[in-house]
Amino acid sequence: MNVIECKELSKVYGNTNAIEDLSFTIEENKITGLIGRNGAGKTTLLKILAGYLHKSTGEVNVLTEDPFNSLKVSSNMIFIDDQMTLPESLTLLEILHSAKMFYKNWDMDLALRLFRYFSFHDNQLHGSLSKGMRSTFNAIVGLSARCKLTILDEPTTGMDSSVRKDFYRALLKEYIDHPRTIIISSHLLNEIEDLLEDVLLIKEGNLLLHKSVDELKEMAIGLKGKSNVIKEIIQGKEVFYRNTVGKDTTYVAVENSFPNELLQRAKENGIEISSVPTDDLCVYLTNRTKGGIDDVFNRN
Amino acid sequence: MIIKLTDSKPIYIQIAEWLETEILSENFKTDEKIYSQYQLAEMLNINPATAAKGLNVLVDEKILYKKRGLGMFVSIDAKEIILTKRKNETLKNMVNELVLEAERLHVREDELFQMIKTTIKQREEDV
Amino acid sequence: MYLTETNVLETTKILYKYKLNAYLNALSALMFVQILALFFSFLGVGSMGFGSSTVNLQVTTYSGSMVIVFSLMWAFIISITMTTKPYRNSDFSFVTNRVTSHLSSIAFLITACIFAGVTSMLMGLLLKVIMYFRFGGEIIGSHVGVTDLFIGISGTVFYLILLSSLGYFVGVLSQLHKMMKFILPIVFFGLLFVWGPNAKLPSEIVSFFIHESSLFLFILKVVGTSLLFYMVSILISNRLEVRQ
Amino acid sequence: MGAFIPLMIILIIVITSYTFVKQSNSRTKKFIYGQRLRWMLSSYVIVLLLGGVTFFILPVQDFPETSVVSEVEDRVTNEAFIDNFYDSAFEGKIDEVDGVVVSKHLEFPFEEEELFLENVTSDYGGIMMIVEKKEGVASEIIATHYSTGLYIQGEDFTEKLSSTEITLSNHTLTVIPPEQTEIRIADFGREFTIAQFAEKDGSDLSTTASLSVQRMGHDIIYVIVPEQVEVTSTSGNIHFINDETYVD
């Protein structure tokens, strides 16, 4: 079953396209990472999926329904981000009890254990929490709700690294025990990469790729060597990144579709072959120009 | 962590290699049940789908076999298959690398053989 | 995870329960406003004096009317507040759609109005008790029997509901577009200006309610009017985005 | 200035309501929430309920009601009574008027031939004096303070009034009006939401009660002096009956 189906989905704000012609599907019980730079349209996309915002054109189905104004989607979905508005006069404990009323799969035991583990106090107010603590609390709500679709929009904003690690581990354990469809958005891949099954990479509102993490890891290959040799090898291939170091050495991240023998020969010709870390690859893919920041300073 | 997840090799391959090593060192014996995808995911803090992929590599290579509803088990020929594979692929690749590096450093053929012989002798003495 | 089933009624009930808890501070605002009104009422809502060479008589009228008027303003403002972004967003942190969000807000507001109606009438009695002890029993005035009290409570509650539905409508209108916050007051004061002080329409609208001496008909009028306000509010905001 | 007060009040209500219920994402400190808020509201309701119960226990239900008698009718009878009060006084028949109150009655033995009257005025004015020379009265001066009493809503508040001081020393009769009596009365009005629907008098939205103050504060000092006594005075507001010889 497909939990999410988007077809040529667009969202226009005034004259700008926040999202353009997005088409993808997300299957049941997968953890998908939504990766893109700040302002790439991640949050807009997620809010459309959550039913908060209208689509402009195209089609969007969540749990086989248009999510906007759908009670079915709302009751089977939870959207967590650091902007979550919670009543100011409820204590954290009261908020957990309120959440319990809304979500039929809610696990109070889990919520309370996490609550204690991250050393929250019953009578604290959501408004008095620091940014990191607030994100942590929201994340607890998100995990304990056990919704069929869990959307986490930059869930770790403000968390320190040990809390982040704990959170990811908690997320994974929860997922193993109670598989569900999870979408995590982030501008960084490396932290969550191992957690993910699929990656959805967007750039300026457009879908760049939707692949499994493993495919992404094998998608590109890094070659380093004499500039002219490199130039010859990569002819006709898609180059994601190119950088010239020293007098005559070039590094390229290039699409990995070389036959083994060719690589073997390249090695024999003094080309260093390496794999491209997915994180770097995402940066290359989402860069506005091929050369990255260097192009700005390149006045020739 | 047993597996260095920052390694640029795909994780499922790292998992497969780690399990092979475990089988070679007899931590898992023939017909013994190996970790499930969920156990692996928990242990290594990775997505269960990735873990499953790692296991499937070993099933494809007939190192593991599936029993429906029970999990995956070490096949009788597991060790042999691994050894052969490592000899054919890993060792071959390493030799390849060695030869290439030797060429780059202008080491002659007999010099290279000599170095290998010395290394083997030293290990024998150590044991 | 399995899919859960829900419906409008069930979700509205849950949201209503949630709001009773979460927005209890609306009642603390009411309490503050009513206590403030009590202090103002100590001055009396009206007074007259008679004098001759031997007597100076001061008769000061005390009633809970000011408490009720203050509570009416509270109902209006609270209802506007309930339509503002933070409140809508707060609903959407959990399970809701626009209809259930509205219905539960309205149910909450009506509950708050009932509470406000009862407390403002009781506050009127408390005022009189305080004045009784201050004046040592030198009191004239109108009797308030238990029946009167119930009439007063019902009248007050429905006035509050009327004001609350108006506030809700105004609030929803102002949420439609950023510019509405400027347009609405301009339209309101513009109309007042165009109509002038002796205009018929506004005074007719007001007297439609305040000159209705039958409680039953008054309740019918209020129920009709507020239903209209609430329904239009729901209809015009049903396509509104949240958490932009 | 007066016009700003309602605006100020509205402003206060807007601000307080808003600050109490405002929601925001910023870090804010709240003191009243959770259990504390519930306690506060419960105690508030309890105080109000106690107030309500006390109200019905208090004997306030026995107070005279406003608007029992129609205002017009009330004023007509009232004015007729007061007219009658003065007319009778000038005719020397004040003691025959029904409902007149004798606040003070003094008899002074008097042997002199001349009487000087001093009618003191206070800040609030003086009291009318009527002097009657009467045949057959010998060796005494009779001073009586008649008043209409004070009836508010039909209730007798006459007792509240203090009486005039009348003294005779040498041959001077001095009338000193009392300090003005301050009477403060609370009028319990009906809330407009009761008044609008209660059967009694329909939609009455006025906040001031239609109060009838009857026969309030009309006083006459009636002095009877022997016929042969010559009366002189420098004070005003003194009227004589049966005496043409009097000169100011």
The closest alpha carbon to B41, from A113, A188, A175, belongs to: A175
Structure tokens at A70: 């759908």
- CB distance A208 to A285 below 8 Å: yes
Q: Is C14 on the interface with A (CB under 8 A)?
A: yes
* C216-237 average pLDDT score: 95
User: Model confidence over D37-68: pLDDT tens digits?
Assistant: 889 999 999 999 999 999 888 876 666 665 54
| Cα of C221 to nearest chain D Cα, Å | 14
Q: Specify the pLDDT at position D70.
A: 55
| Cα of D49 to nearest chain A Cα, Å | 26
CB nearest D30 (choices: A83, A85, A89): A89
Q: Is D196 on the interface with C (CB under 8 A)?
A: yes
CB nearest D20 (choices: C32, C50, C121): C32
* Chain A touching partners, 3 or more CB pairs below 8 A: B, C, D
CB nearest C24 (choices: A51, A89, A148): A89
Contact D208 C48 (CB under 8 A): yes
- Of the residues A180, A193, A211, the best mutation for testing chain B's interface (the one with the most B CB atoms within 10 Å of its CB) is A193
Q: Which residues of D touch A89 (CB under 8 A)?
A: 30, 32-34, 37
Q: How many CA atoms lie within 13 A of C192 on its CB side?
A: 6
Q: pLDDT class for D208, splitting at 50, 70, 90? A: very low
Contact A197 B50 (CB under 8 A): yes
Which CATH class, in words, describes the domain spanning B11-77?
mainly alpha
Q: Which residues of D touch C65 (CB under 8 A)?
A: 189, 191-192, 207
- CB distance C144 to D60 below 8 Å: no
Q: Specify the pLDDT at position D15.
A: 72
Q: Which residues of D touch A132 (CB under 8 A)?
A: none
Q: Specify the pLDDT at position C179.
A: 84
Name every residue whose Cβ is closer than 8 Å to that of residue C77 and which is 6 or more positions away in sequence: C167, D13, D14, D17, D18
For residue D142, the cross-strand partners are D107, D224
- Of the residues D18, D22, D23, D39, the best mutation for testing chain A's interface (the one with the most A CB atoms within 10 Å of its CB) is D23
Q: Is A71 on the interface with C (CB under 8 A)?
A: yes
Q: Specify the pLDDT at position A174.
A: 94
**How many Å apart are CA A243 and CA C87, to the nearest integer?**
51
Q: Is A122 on the interface with B (CB under 8 A)?
A: no
pLDDT one digit per residue (tens) for chain A, 300 residues: 789 999 999 999 888 888 999 999 999 999 999 998 888 899 999 999 999 999 999 999 999 999 999 999 999 999 999 888 888 888 899 999 999 999 999 999 999 999 999 999 998 888 889 999 999 999 999 999 999 999 999 999 899 999 999 999 999 999 999 999 999 998 878 888 889 999 999 998 888 899 998 888 888 888 888 888 888 888 888 888 888 888 888 898 888 888 878 887 887 777 888 888 888 888 888 876 655 666 667 665
Contact C65 D207 (CB under 8 A): yes
- Of the residues B6, B38, B47, B92, the best mutation for testing chain A's interface (the one with the most A CB atoms within 10 Å of its CB) is B47
Q: Which amino acid is at D93?
A: K
Q: Is the pLDDT of residue D206 over 60?
A: no
Estimate the share of chain C in helix, then strand, then coil, as percent rounded to the nearest 5. 70, 5, 20
**How many Å apart are CA C90 and CA C93, to the nearest integer?**
5
What percent of chain B shows pLDDT beyond 90? 27
* Chain C touching partners, 3 or more CB pairs below 8 A: A, D
User: Model confidence over D222-246: pLDDT tens digits?
Assistant: 888 888 888 888 777 788 876 555 4
Question: Searching chain C, which residue's CA lies closest to the CA of residue A145?
Answer: C94
Q: pLDDT class for D205, splitting at 50, 70, 90? A: very low
Q: Which residues of B touch A33 (CB under 8 A)?
A: none
Interface of D with A (CB under 8 A): 22-30, 32-34, 37
| Cα of C30 to nearest chain D Cα, Å | 7
| Cα of D29 to nearest chain A Cα, Å | 7
Q: Is D56 on the interface with C (CB under 8 A)?
A: yes
Which CA distances in Å does A294 have to A116, A241, A299, B124, C62?
48, 12, 10, 55, 80
CB nearest A101 (choices: C18, C90, C239): C18
Q: pLDDT class for D18, splitting at 50, 70, 90? A: low
With an 8 Å CB cutoff and a minimum of 3 pairs, decide whether chains C and B touch: no
SS3 state of residue B117? helix
For the ranges A198-202, A252-256, C102-106, D32-36, the lowest mean pLDDT is seen at D32-36
Q: State the angle between helix axes of C65-82 and D4-21 in degrees (0 to 180), rounded to the nearest 10.
A: 50
* Chain D touching partners, 3 or more CB pairs below 8 A: A, C
ipTM: 0.82
Give φ, ψ of D44 to 5 degrees: -60, -50
Q: Which amino acid is at A197?
A: E
User: Model confidence over D89-117: pLDDT tens digits?
Assistant: 888 777 777 778 888 888 888 887 888 88
Q: What is the DSSP string of C22-89?
A: HTTHHHHHHHHHHHHHHHHHTT-SEEEEEE-SSEEEEEEEE-THHHHHHHHHHHHHHHHHHTSHHHHH
Say which residue, A143 or C6, is predicted with more confidence: A143
- CB distance A23 to A208 below 8 Å: no
Q: How many CA atoms lie within 13 A of C236 on its CB side?
A: 16
CB nearest A123 (choices: D23, D25, D34): D34
**How many Å apart are CA C86 and CA C74, to the nearest integer?**
19
Q: Which residues of A touch B4 (CB under 8 A)?
A: none
Say which residue, D18 or B16, is predicted with more confidence: B16
Structure tokens at A146: 């056990």
Q: Specify the pLDDT at position A235.
A: 85
Contact C62 D189 (CB under 8 A): yes
What percent of chain C shows pLDDT beyond 70? 99
Q: Specify the pLDDT at position D26.
A: 45
CB nearest D33 (choices: A83, A91, A129): A91
SS3 state of residue C152? helix
What is the pTM assigned to this prediction?
A: 0.84
With an 8 Å CB cutoff and a minimum of 3 pairs, decide whether chains A and D touch: yes
Domain limits, chain D: 4-58, 71-241
In this structure, which long-range contacts are made by residues A160-164, counting pairs with CB atoms below 8 Å and at least 24 apart in sequence? A160/A132, A163/A118, A163/A132, A163/A136, A164/A191
**How many Å apart are CA C108 and CA C102, to the nearest integer?**
10
